[in-house]
Each structure stands twice: as C-alpha cells, then as structure tokens.
Amino acid sequence: MHLVVGLGNPGPEYRDNRHNLGFMVVDALGARAGGSSPRVKFGAELSEVTLAGARVLLCKPMEFMNVSGQSVARVAGFWKIPVADVVVVHDELDLPFGRLKLGTGGGHGGHNGVRSMLADLGDAGFARVRVGVGRPAPGRQDPADYLLSDFSRAEAKELPALIDTAADAVEAILKSGVTAAMNKFNGKAKSS
C-alpha cells in the first residue's frame, strides 16, 4: 500500500489558502478514485482507494501544518507503510505558480509541513510533489501571510488545471516510479 499525503491546515478558514494546495490535490485524487467518505483516525482524514492500479491510503493531516508529520507517522506506522512508499504533495514558494517539481530526499526548504514530516518520519526518502504557488513581490507581503491567503482571481481560474496536473503527477509516481514521473512533469506548466 502507498500513502499519499496532502499538506494543509484544517478548518474552513484555511480551505482555499495557497498553503492548502496539498489538501486540494488529495481531494481531487479521492474524487477520481470514487473513494468512500474519509474517516478520521490518528489525527488525519483517511480514505482507502485504488489509483493507477495501486492500493492507496489518501491522508490529510487534521493537525496544523507545523505538526502534521505526527499524524502521518502514526498512520504510516499503523499500516506499516515504509517511507519509500509515501508521496507528499505540498505548496512551494520557490516555484512559479503552476510549475511542478517532483523528487525524493532533501531538506525542508523552509516548509513547516515538510520539516515536521522529516522530524517525525525520521527519513527523507519519501517522494515529493512540489506545486508552485510563487512568491509575493519583495516587500509587498510577508511570505507566511501570502501562503495563508487565498489564490488571486487570475490564479483561481487556472487552479483546477493545476490541481489536475499535480494529481496526474501523483498517479504517475504510483504507476511508473519517481524518476519516470520526474521526466514527465518536472518544470512543466499545468495542463491547458
């Protein structure tokens, strides 16, 4: 079984924030798979589905971003899912809006959710689907405030295509592995 984690913050006030892009992608994957209603267990919203021919546990940590790794570690431990079979989807300030970057390993790059995942899983070997949200113009807005704000009207129009492309990237990882998915999706803009 694979564990696909979308990073975000729980609660309706955060639902449409840039920082909740991981949640949005996991919701799209659940809709594609026709999964049952998620259940809450170990501090996460979980749904078992089949994607790209693989058994997948979709996970949205229901703890705030900076401690989200705690619930992910509990879920992975209970289902005995090795870190190599974990895929994490999250927003990325250092990529322009609409760009994807897939890979494994590495540091947290300042992302508190990834920092928590690294601390609580104790291993950087999980796959990552970084989804670009861009940075605010220098001096115009604090990056933390930017992430906790909703997408602009122009971005919101393009958001469904971006979410679909990120979901396609997750399915490609499940079907063909990270390297093949990287070759297909890294640096590419969302589908038109």
Beta bridge partners of 59: 5, 46
Q: At what angle do helices 178-185 and 153-176 cross, to 10 degrees?
A: 150
Query: Which residue is catalytic, options 2, 19, 90, 111?
Result: 19
Q: What are phi and psi of 191, to 5 degrees?
A: -65, 150
Identify whether 19 is a catalytic site residue. yes
Query: Which of 80, 64, 73, 78 lies closest to 23 in space, CA to CA?
Result: 64
The answer to whether 147 and 91 are in contact (CB under 8 A) is: yes
The answer to whether 65 and 107 are in contact (CB under 8 A) is: no
Active site residues: 19
